[in-house]
Amino acid sequence: MKIKVLIVDDSAFMRKVLTDIINDSDTMEVVGAAKNGEDAIEKIRNLKPDVVTMDVEMPVMDGLTALERIMAETPLPVVMLSSYTKEGADATLRALELGAIDFISKPSSIFKVNTEDIIKEINEKVTIASKAKFRSKTMKITPRPVEQKVERPSSERSRRRGTRIDKVIAIGTSTGGPKALQEVVPKLPGDLNASVIIVQHMPPKFTKSLAERLDSMSEFSVKEAEDREMLKPGFAYIAPGDQHLKLKKIGTDYQIMLTKEPPVSGHRPSADAMFYSLADLGLFNIIGVIMTGMGADGAKGLERIKHETNGFIIAQNEESCVVYGMPKSTVKLGVVDKECDLLQISSEIVKAMGV
C-alpha cells in the first residue's frame, strides 16, 4: 500500500512540483493539497493522510500554528518545508520542538526545486516520516527563556577554561535529533569538567540556529564549532552543516578541525568521522552517545572507540527514538555499555563521568 501524502503550501507552483515528485514514486501518492494551515486541518480530518508536508509561511494560518493544532488534535508525521535563511532555520527548530519529524530546505531558486538531490531528499524523508514513532504527549520540553540563561562570572569562566578536561562527550544523531538534544544537553550540569562535541545531520545555517537554541536552554555554553578553536570544559560544540568535526591534540589540549573532506557513511558532517578522529587520538576519556536517526552513521566509529580506547558507549533505546536506526546499528555491534530511554541519557553521562 502506498504512503498517502497531503501537501500544504500556499504556492500553486510548489504544490504542483511536490505532487509530481511524490506521484512519480512507486511507494507514495498525493491524496490532496491544501493552500494554508486552516485548509490543511480540515483535509487531514477528511483524507486521513499518512504524512503531511507543511510550508512554514502561509496566509490565514501559518505552518507552525497548524502544526501545533495537528499535534494536539490529530497527531501524525509532518515534514516541514523551510526557507534556507536564518529566520527559516529558527522556525524549523521551533517546528521540530512542536513535533515535526523532519524538514526539507527549499532551494534558493525555483529552477532547482526538482533536481535529483531534492527529489531524493523528499522521497527519503517522507518515507522515513511514515515509519517514525511519536513520543508520548506527556513529554513536553520546557526550555528556559534566553534571558534566564545562567551567566557565570567572568572570573569563574576564566578559571574553568584553564582546567584540564576530564572527559570528551561525543554525541551523534540525525532524524529526531534536534528535539532529543534538548532533552540531553540542557540537563548536563554547567560545572561538569568535560567538553561536548555534537554531530547532528543538518545543513548550514540550521546548525547555528540549533546551537543558539540549545545555548538558551543550558548551563553549558553551546555554540557552533569554529575551525582551530580549542576545546574548553563547560562548552558544547556542534559541527557546522556540511563540515566534518575532528579533533587534533596539541600538547595536553584538543583543537577542533573542520574539514570539507568527502562524506563519511553518506554524511557531512558525519558522526563516524568525529568518532574515528577521537579513536585515532588514542584518548582514554571518551563518552560516546548515539541517538535517534536513520541509517548507521556513528556505529563503526563507536566500535573503534570501544575497542581501541575502551570508551563508555551510551545508546538511546528503541522505545524513545523517532527512528531507531543509528542506535540499532551500534547495539548490533555489541559495543554499547548502556542502552536507555532518552530522558535518562543525561544522568547516564553524569554517572559515567564519575560525578
Residue 99 — left, alpha, or beta (φ > 0 → left; ψ -120 to 50 → alpha)? Answer: left
* Catalytic residue (choose from 105, 174, 218, 265): 174
Among residues 206, 212, 188, the alpha carbon closest in space to that of 314 is found at: 188
Cα–Cα dist 221/279, whole Å? 25
Cα–Cα dist 181/191, whole Å? 19
Which position has the grid cell 578541525? Answer: 257
Answer yes or no: 11 catalytic: no
Q: Are 132 and 101 in contact (CB under 8 A)?
A: yes
Answer yes or no: 201 catalytic: yes
* CB-neighbour burial class of residue 232 (10 A; exposed 0-12, middle 13-18, buried 19+): middle
* Catalytic residue (choose from 10, 90, 102, 297): 297
HSE-CB of 191 using CA atoms within 13 angstroms: 5
Q: How many CB atoms lie under 10 A from the CB of residue 63?
A: 30
* Catalytic residue (choose from 201, 265, 272, 320): 201
Cα–Cα dist 330/293, whole Å? 12
CA distance from start to end of the chain: 51
Answer yes or no: 117 catalytic: no
Q: Are 249 and 281 in contact (CB under 8 A)?
A: yes
Which position has the grid cell 589540549? Answer: 253
3-state secondary structure 260-273: CCCCECCECCCHHH
Q: Tell me the catalytic residues.
A: 174, 201, 297
